[in-house]
Amino acid sequence: MAIETSNNTLQQKVTELVDAGKKDQLSELIETLSCKEVTHLIVHLNQEEQTSLFKLLSPEQAAEILEEIPDLQAVYIIEYLKTKEAAAILDEMESDDQADLIMELDNDEAEAILQEMLPEEAASVRRLLAYESDCAGGMMCTEYFAFYEDQTIRSVTEDLRDNSAKYAAYKLKYIFVISRSGVLKGVLQMQDLLLAGMDRKLSDILVKEISYVDHHITLDELIDFFDTNDWFGVPVVDEERKLVGVVLRSDIREAQATRQTVEHLESQGIIGGEELRTMPVLLRAKRRLSWLSVNILLNIVAASVIAINQDTLSSVIALAVFLPIISDMSGCSGNQAVAVSMRELSIGAVYPGEVLRVLRQELAVGLINGIVLGLLIGMAAFLWKGNFYLGLVVGAALTLNTLLAVCLGGTVPLILKGLNVDPALASGPILTTITDMMGFFLTLTFASMALSHLGGL
């Protein structure tokens, strides 16, 4: 509760400073905030307050904030700013972040902002926008050191000194050497410049053995690349080996983390990207419903198994107590196996083709846990009604259905991945629909077989 108070104070203070138009104090205050605090502050200002705040901040500081908060929120803010203001802020961002935001805007709005941006910045954004967002071209940034092979150390040093303000923001400290037509020729480290004579040409001292990647390679390939190399970044080239950008290790790590987050949210039924509670209620409700309405149909299909066996159920009404338990527990067991498979897929401990191997590995676990859970629920049923057969029916159903759920849960993600269907999204619904149906079917079928011993329960 203390946090709420201190936070409200921060929010109040910022709103007061905004209202009073105290730029400097505002900027100082914001400078002291951590990334989380900035996020919390911004998402809890209303739209009008957000706009006033961003109008008061310098474009540099505004850009910094937009890079720290979720993209979703940043896009809302950009949309409400005047085109000129938005362009000035975007000018200050790194090229990959610029492209990420502009991609989310309406075409008209994006075009208007690009028109207002510095020509050089706009051009680099347009180049990035031409790529798919999850390939090297879409994730690269265009802030990097590149000089021509026929330049002397002296001319490079002078350029570095003259543009030191601009270069300070460059994250990758390698110097790439290119031909006059832009073809990547080699690389240098900063200290190589210090050690060589001033009149030597770059072509004399460059390192020719250099790793580079094609502009169309995918995030997965980039992850592998950085796994096998120690570089902080890698140059990206086109078909003619012309240098078009650099991909940073840190950006790939971040993309990897984002993908993991998206997968987690998808597996819990938040699809189409992140949801922030500051999004409009109708949008949030609609996005969540898109997933729920598929699920309710699947649920109805599964429950139809009960409807079909309604006669058995009406003779043994006690079974109605166990149907939800059996379907829910099988779902839990299956989801554990799904989680392990998703994790093993992501670290490479299993490949999509290894369905049979996983099946073998899950069979034993499913059998053990099925028997233990079956005994538990069987005993509970027996103790409740004093009828051995009731215990046997529900115990056997849960045992078998757990085995099935664990085997399915372990293998379904691999099969979906192999079929190029997103396993994070589809594994859960597929799993629970099948295990629900089978759970109901097994329980009611076993019961109908033992009906003469179960009458009147």
Residues 146-185 that bind a second copy (CB under 8 A): none
Residue found under tokens 């605090």: 37
If one counts every other C-beta atom within 10 angstroms of the C-beta of residue 383, the result is: 9
The binder of a second copy chosen from 21, 197, 348, 386 (CB under 8 A): 348
What is the rounded distance in angstroms from the CA atom of residue 402 to the CA atom of residue 368? 9
Residue 274 interacting with a second copy (CB under 8 A): yes
Contacts (CB under 8 A) with a second copy, residues 41-60: 43
DSSP codes joined into one string, 67-113: HHS-HHHHHHHHHHS-HHHHHHHHHTS-HHHHHHHHHHS-HHHHHHH
Complex with a second copy: residue 198 or 257, whichever CB lies closer:
257
Which residues inside 397-456 make contact with a second copy, applying CB under 8 A?
410, 418, 432, 436, 440
Choose the stretch contacting a second copy; rule: CB under 8 A; options: 34-42, 93-101, 110-118, 202-210.
34-42
107 or 191: whose CB is closer to a second copy? Answer: 191
Site residues (CB under 8 A) for a second copy, limited to 59-78: 68, 70
Q: Which stretch binds a second copy (CB under 8 A): 103-111, 157-165, 177-185, 373-381?
A: 373-381
**Nearer to a second copy by C-beta: 326 or 392?**
326
At closest approach, how far in Å is the CB of 166 from a second copy? 17
Q: What is the dihedral of CA 213, 215, 220, 221, to 10 degrees?
A: -20
Can you tell me which of 123, 130, 198, 289 binds a second copy, judged by CB under 8 A? 289
Q: Interacting stretch for a second copy, rule CB under 8 A, among 96-104, 125-133, 146-154, 274-282? A: 274-282
Q: Contacting a second copy (CB under 8 A), which of 261, 386, 388, 449?
A: 261
Which helix or strand (DSSP H or E) is residue 186 part of? strand 184-188
Bridge partner residues of 378 (DSSP): none
Which of 123, 300, 419, 449 binds a second copy (CB under 8 A)? It is 300
Residue placing its CB nearer to a second copy in the complex, 142 or 335: 335
Buried residues in 314-353 as b, exposed as e (16+ CB within 10 A): eebebbeebbebbbebbbebbbbbbebbbebbeeeebebe
Does the protein bind a second copy through residue 284 (CB under 8 A)? yes
Query: Minimum distance between the CB of residue 310 and a second copy, rounded to whole angstroms?
Result: 6
Count the residues of the shown chain that bind a second copy, applying the rule CB under 8 A. Answer: 104
Burial (CB count <10 Å: 0-12, 13-18, 19+), residue 86: buried
269-276: long-range pairs with CB below 8 Å, 24+? 269/295, 269/428, 271/425, 273/72, 274/70, 274/72, 276/43, 276/70, 276/72, 276/73
Strand partners, 145: 175
State the nearest-atom distance from the C-beta of 289 to a second copy, in Å. Answer: 6
In whole angstroms, the minimum distance from the beta carbon of 89 to a second copy comes to 20
Binder among 29, 37, 51, 192 for a second copy (CB under 8 A): 37
**Cβ-based nearer residue to a second copy, 131 or 226:** 226
How many other CB atoms sit within 10 Å of the CB of residue 70? 15
Considering only residues 309 through 328, tell me which ones interact with a second copy, judged by CB under 8 A.
310, 313-314, 317-318, 320-325, 327-328
- Tell the burial category of 242 from Cβ atoms under 10 Å away from its Cβ (0-12, 13-18, 19+): middle
The correct pick among 82, 84, 126, 253 for binding a second copy (CB under 8 A) is 253
To a second copy, the closest distance from the beta carbon of 380 in angstroms equals: 6
| 104: Cα within 13 Å, side-chain hemisphere | 17
Q: Rg of the Cα trace of the chain?
A: 30
Which CB atom, from 202 or from 323, has the smaller least distance to a second copy? Answer: 323
Cα(93)–Cα(95) distance, integer angstroms: 6
Closest by Cα among 141, 212, 148, 200 to 175: 148
| Smallest gap from residue 171 Cβ to a second copy (A) | 10
Q: Considering Cα of 142, then 145, then 151, then 154, what sign does the dihedral take?
A: positive
Of 200-239, binders to a second copy (CB under 8 A) are 224, 227-228
Task: Give the one residue of 182, 186, 273, 352 binding a second copy; rule: CB under 8 A.
Answer: 352
Q: Report the distance separating Cα 176 and Cα 235, nearest Å.
A: 8
Question: C-beta of 395: minimal distance to a second copy in Å?
Answer: 12
Report the amino acid identity of residue 323: L
For residues 98 to 117, the per-residue mask of contacts with a second copy, x marking binding by CB under 8 A and - elsewhere, is --------------------
